[in-house]
């Protein structure tokens, strides 16, 4: 297993497959790098070097008491890219990972970056505020915190259903996907996952989005029950210069799994363009 050690001594797990132009993936909460397996295998087979890490306190990375914040996540990702000496990289982030991609660019620039992709991503801001009246009420995130504290194992089993749209009439439920989501979530650390809720809900990524100066693809499902498209992709696509927006009709939050073939084809076309 491959790890880098960050400045504060945290071991960050990553997988690094194939060769060619690097494509680096940032996963959503409360998952791990494994959430990107379908995309990594596909792009790896098409001649790209594919890399995905487990965010600190998630997956196989160290479970830290401190540093579970977006500034540190971004610095960890920049450290990984520097350690691997990535150049001309394509950064792809889902959900919280989309915030991580935006914030890494906001803090560290695009010197190593050729393109960016945000999939079902949380930017610019999820939380309802005076300046963001269409955002999600704080009570929703407080309920997530309570669910994680009270019974994290059951909460993740329940979260799977809206995450993949399995609660919609006529949906075909994959028990394997449900088990994989639960396993990835339970592999991470409670403290870090609890802290991360604030990072995906309350951080305003507007200024980060303004700093993205590379071609950017924004993908979102219009039936996303976790990160509503109206407060996310529809706004981000207006903030990021010359962003390309693709809306997947009827797609849920976990579209990298439910719509893997469609996303894979769109990613390949965007990277090649």
Written as six digits, the tokens of 117 are 């992709």
Question: How many angstroms separate the first and last alpha carbons of the chain?
Answer: 33
d(CA 6, CA 271) in angstroms, rounded, equals 29
Residue 240: phi, psi to the nearest 5? -75, 125
DSSP one-letter code for 36:
G
H-state helical runs in 84-174: 96-108, 138-163
d(CA 270, CA 273) in angstroms, rounded, equals 5
How does DSSP assign 165-177, residue by residue? TTTSTT----HHH
Q: Which of 208, 240, 233 is nearest to 109 (CA)?
A: 208
Kindly list the catalytic residues. 95, 224, 253
Does an H or E element contain 11, and which? strand 11-17
d(CA 193, CA 167) in angstroms, rounded, equals 24
d(CA 220, CA 88) in angstroms, rounded, equals 25
12 cis-preceded (ω within 30 degrees of 0)? no
């Amino acid at each position: 297993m491959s790890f880098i050690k960050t400045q504060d001594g945290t071991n960050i797990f990553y997988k690094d497959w194939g060769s060619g132009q690097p494509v680096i993936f940032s996963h959503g909460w409360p998952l791990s790098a494994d959430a990107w397996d379908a995309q990594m295998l596909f792009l790896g087979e098409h001649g790209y070097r594919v890399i995905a890490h487990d965010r600190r306190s998630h997956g196989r990375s160290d479970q830290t008491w401190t540093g579970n914040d977006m500034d540190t996540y971004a610095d960890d990702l920049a450290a990984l890219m520097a350690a691997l000496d990535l150049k001309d990289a394509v950064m792809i982030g889902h959900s919280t990972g989309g915030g991580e991609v935006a914030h890494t660019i906001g803090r560290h620039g695009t010197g190593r970056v050729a393109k960016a992709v945000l999939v079902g991503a949380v930017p610019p801001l999820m939380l309802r505020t005076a300046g963001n009246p269409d955002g999600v009420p704080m009570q929703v995130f407080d309920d997530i915190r309570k669910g994680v504290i009270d019974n994290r194992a059951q909460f993740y089993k329940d979260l799977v259903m809206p995450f993949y749209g399995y609660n919609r009439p006529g949906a075909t439920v994959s028990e394997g996907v449900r088990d994989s989501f639960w396993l990835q979530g339970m592999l991470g650390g409670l403290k870090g996952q609890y802290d991360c809720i604030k990072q995906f809900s309350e951080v305003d990524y507007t200024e980060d989005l303004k700093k993205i100066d590379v071609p950017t693809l924004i993908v979102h499902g219009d039936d996303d029950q976790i990160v509503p498209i109206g407060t996310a992709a529809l706004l981000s696509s207006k903030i990021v210069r010359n962003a390309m927006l693709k809306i997947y009709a009827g797609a849920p939050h976990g579209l990298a799994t439910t719509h893997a073939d469609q996303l894979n084809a769109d990613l390949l076309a965007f990277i090649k363009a």
